[in-house]
Structure 1
Amino acid sequence: MVKEFKYRGLSLEELQGLSLERLFELLPARARRSLTRGITDDKRKLLEDTKLAKAGKHKTTIKTHLRDVIILPYMTGLTISVYSGKEFLPVAIKPDMVGHYLGEFIMTNKRVVHGAPGVGASRSSLYVPLK
Structure 2
Amino acid sequence: MAVHHGKNGKVKIGVNAVGSVQKWSINQNVEAADTTVMGASWQTHLTGIPGWSGSVECLYDPADTNGQVALEIGDSVTLGLYSDGDAATKKYFAGTASVTSIPVETDLKGPVKISFNFQGNGALTTDTVA
Specify the structure having the higher radius of gyration (Cα).
1
The structure that is strand-richer by fraction is 2
The answer, yes or no, to whether TM exceeds 0.5 is: no
The structure that is helix-richer by fraction is 1
Name the TM-score class by shorter chain: under 0.3
TM-score normalized by the length of structure 1 = 0.22
Structure with larger RCO (C-alpha < 8 A, sep 6+)? 2
